[in-house]
Amino acid sequence: MEKDYSKYFMPDLKKAGLRSKSSTEFIYDDLVIPEALKEIAKGRKYLVRTFGCQANERDGETLNGIFEAIGYTLASKVDEADVIILNTCAIRENAEQRVFGEIGNLKRLKQNNKDLIFGICGCMIQEEHVVNKILDKFHQVDILFGTHNIQNLPSLLLKAIESKETVVEVYSKEGEVIEALPVRRNDNLKAWVNIMYGCDKFCTYCIVPYTRGKERSRKMEDILEEVRELKNEGYQEVTLLGQNVNAYGKDLNLGYEFGDLLIEVAKTNIPRIRFTTSHPWDFNHKMIDAIRDYDNIMPFVHLPLQSGDDEILKRMGRRYTYESYKELYNEIRSKVKGVSITTDIIVGFPGESEEQFLNTLKACEELSYDSAYTFIYSPRNGTPAARMKDDVSLETKKERFNRLCDVVLKHALKHNKEYVGQTVNVLVEGYSKRNKNILSGYSDSNKLVNFKGDENSVGKIVKVKITKAKSFTLEGEQVE
Ligand code: 5AD
Ligand code: SF4
């Protein structure tokens, strides 16, 4: 018998990809917690497991904040939890497979604890084929909600507890900017700060513009207030987050852009500022000059290239050529002292020829990145690239992937070796469990540094002399 899903708010990827000219609504108070739920939460525990990118991490912190505001406390392991939420990622097939594996694993918990509430949210739930599969095959799931309505968690939770039915609420809309939701951060030194949501670039391989709505910026004063608060709480570092931070402000029409925001955030004197992710298309001189001119804007840029071949870039809808990318890359390298630059590369885009792949390999040799995240193309339902003809075998794609990794690693090691003998600033995050004299943290240029030092340095920015370089880490000794 056909299931009747008409009572649910089901996802619709096609609708999610539409964009109108309407301006963004700003909502300053949107969390409603029913009294009955506060009663239920007493003595009960929650756990949120987050997959995927930093934006999702930050959403996970909001979910934690909402649970705490209701009155739940954090469970230290899954067996202890009365509510478990999986906050999912849809960027590639393997990210989705991991989540389906996890849903299967959690089945046994439900068998042991009949009152356990099990929810799934995040980018995967914005996809109709995922929601249909869960409703058909995974009856242990109680709540499904998307990226646009995490503020509705309290009412959805209460509904699921009271009705004992699966509750589905997914909106396929462009999205608002919702301020002032509670947050429980996972770290007390480094904080994620959303500066914008969504994406309007529609790269042909990418699901994000469909799962996260349109590009919409937070107002500068709201961002600055959050950064000032974090500074007062003792945070040493903020990372400004957006799918494409360089487009910041364009939708607001308030006369400021990402370069202006960087400068204002720098003036708060928070010790360290990072940002991610950048799209080469929107990156301009003002932004580069800001990174150069302010000591607390860290010399580190993640600048996804995706491919070094112009024909592939065009079919990816990336809006730049290799030459124009190179110009930007070289400007950043030459203007910002000690900068490190990393990238994302996709191999095996539909129909990629050996010659086109070689252009990517050549680009990586020529640009010499500090590091790169490399991915094999994964078709995403509903995106234009998923409909393109692909005659390249997975075996060939894997073989290209390995050749690319060799080049990336060679350059990573080369850059790291340049640090030997230099003294760098490190924000000390912690020490090795086995040896409290071995500390670790990241340098200004975002290199992971393990070093001999004083355990009282945890939480501080200290000077470390680098003595050894590996492909992924540096080693050294604290000098101050
Ligand atoms: N297949 C493989 N990699 C992808 N990425 C985005 N979509 C896909 C896809 N369908 C990669 C891009 C992006 C990074 C976050 O993930 O390189 O920059
Ligand atoms: Fe995807 Fe492109 Fe948006 Fe990045 S900028 S999330 S690659 S569509």
Tens digit of pLDDT for each residue in 375-388?
999 999 999 999 99
- Tens digit of each residue's pLDDT (9 = 90 or more) over 298-318: 999 999 999 999 999 999 999
Ligand 1 atom nearest to CA at 53:
15
Ligand nearest to the Cα of 342, by number: 1
pLDDT-based confidence at residue 1 (cuts at 50, 70, 90): very low
Atom 17 of ligand 1: nearest residue by CA position: 344
Average pLDDT (141-168) is: 95
CB 453 within 8 A of CB 428: yes
pLDDT digits (tens, 9 = 90+) for 88-113: 999 999 999 999 999 988 888 988 88
Q: How far is the CA of 105 from the centre of ligand 1 (A)?
A: 27
Q: Are 462 and 426 in contact (CB under 8 A)?
A: yes
Query: pLDDT at position 4, please?
Result: 61
Three-state DSSP string of the chain: CCCCCCCCECCCHHHHCCCCCCCCCEECCCCCCCHHHHHHHCCCEEEEEECCCHHHHHHHHHHHHHHHHHCCEECCCHHHCCEEEEEECCCCHHHHHHHHHHHHHHHHHHHHCCCCEEEEEEHHHHCHHHHHHHHHHCCCCCEEECCCCHHHHHHHHHHHHHHCCCEEECCCCCCCEECCCCCCCCCCCEEEEECEECCCCCCCCCCHHHHCCCCEECCHHHHHHHHHHHHHCCCCEEEEECCCHHHCCCCCCCCCCHHHHHHHHHHCCCCEEEEECCCHHHCCHHHHHHHHHCCCECCEEECCCECCCHHHHHHHCCCCCHHHHHHHHHHHHHHCCCCEEEEEEEECCCCCCHHHHHHHHHHHHHHCCCEEEEEECCCCCCCHHHHCCCCCCHHHHHHHHHHHHHHHHHHHHHHHHCCCCCEEEEEEEEECCCCCCEEEEEECCCCEEEEECCHHHCCCEEEEEEEEECCCEEEEEECC
CA gap 436, 78 in Å, rounded: 29
Residue with CA at minimum distance from ligand 1 atom 7: 206
pLDDT tens sequence across 44-86: 999 999 999 999 999 999 999 999 999 999 999 999 999 999 9
Residues 142 and 113: their CA atoms lie apart, in Å, by: 13
Could you report the per-residue pLDDT of 435-479, keeping only the tens digit for each?
888 999 999 999 999 999 999 999 999 999 999 999 999 999 999
pLDDT for res 61: 98
Ligand 2 contact, 307 CB (< 6 A) = no
Among 244, 258, 276, the mutation site with the greatest number of ligand 2 atoms within 8 A of its Cβ is: 244
Q: How far is the CA of 204 from the centre of ligand 2 (A)?
A: 9
pLDDT bracket for residue 219 (50, 70, 90) = very high
Lowest-confidence pick of 48-57, 132-141, 324-333: 132-141
- The pLDDT score that the predictor gives to residue 5 is 65
Range 454-457, long-range pairs (CB < 8 A, 24+ positions)? 454/478, 455/431, 457/428
Cβ–ligand 2 distance for 207 under 6 Å, the answer no
Query: What percentage of residues in the chain have a pLDDT greater than 70?
Result: 99
Contact predicate 378/234, CB 8 Å: no
Give me the chain's average pLDDT, please: 95
What the block records as the tokens of 161 is: 């507890």
pLDDT, one tens digit per residue, over 187-201 is 999 999 999 999 999
pLDDT the model gives residue 480:
78
Task: Indicate whether residue 343 lines ligand 2 (CB < 6 A).
Answer: no
Dist. CA 26–CA 50, nearest whole Å = 26
What are the pLDDT digits (tens) for 336-363? 999 999 999 999 999 999 999 999 999 9
Instruction: Note the pLDDT of residue 387.
Output: 97
Nearest atom, ligand 1, residue 344 CA: 17
- Residue 243, pLDDT > 80, answer yes
Q: Rounded to the nearest whole angstrom, what is the distance from the C-alpha of residue 332 to the centroid of ligand 1?
A: 23
pLDDT of residue 358: 98
pLDDT higher than threshold 80 for residue 6: no
